[in-house]
Amino acid sequence: MMMKRVGKIIFLCLAIILIDSCKINYSFTGTSISPEVKSYTINNFSYRAKLVNPTLADYIEEQLRDKFTRQTSLDYKNDGGDLEFEGSVTGYDVTPIAIKSNDTAASNRLTIKIKVKFTNTKDHQQDFDTEFSEYEDFDSSQMLSDVEETLVEAIVKKMVEDIFNKSVANW
């Protein structure tokens, strides 16, 4: 009887030690950020596209910063963060995509391209220098100036999600 009790106590102690030594990081945002990473920096994005949207680069930076603030516990630093982002808007184009029988466009597409350089100072294997491209379509009867704000918001939202996933969600 005594041996059974000692055996159970030993088993229980070993189970507790085993469970305690297993450390798994769970995240409800889908991120897999190393515990060593404490901060991030978003450097100014430059604008190199031919068609000009003067607020786009700032808007991308702002949305990327908001995404990291909402979905991570990382601190924002103006300079020298553990994760660093820099980039440029390389494309901002409107093209016709659906032609009617009388050679006029039925739909147009606004495409935005940005090049992003990501540096993880704690793990350089995760660094990347990638171009992201997204688009939204709109009816050709609408002027770009009338729908531009809504289109840009939708495009940037998708781009920020892609950048976030590639940098910290390891997708």
Return the HEC string of 10-58: HHHHHHHHHHHHCCCCCCCCCCCCCCCCCEEEECCCEECCCCCCCCHHH
pLDDT tens-digit series, residues 123-168: 999 999 999 999 999 998 899 999 999 999 999 999 999 999 999 9
Domain count, the chain: 1
Structural domain contains residue 19: no
Q: List the domain range (segments joined by +) for residue 140.
A: 34-169
Write down the pTM of the prediction: 0.78
Quick check: is 12 in a domain?
Answer: no
Q: What's phi and psi for 14, nearest 5 deg?
A: -65, -40
Name the residue with tokens 């606004």. 110
Q: Look up the CATH number of the domain holding residue 159.
A: 3.30.160.150
CA dist., res. 84 & res. 127, Å (int) = 9
Cβ atoms < 10 Å from Cβ of 35: 8
Q: What is the pLDDT of residues 66-105, one digit of tens each?
A: 999 999 999 999 999 999 999 999 999 999 987 777 767 7
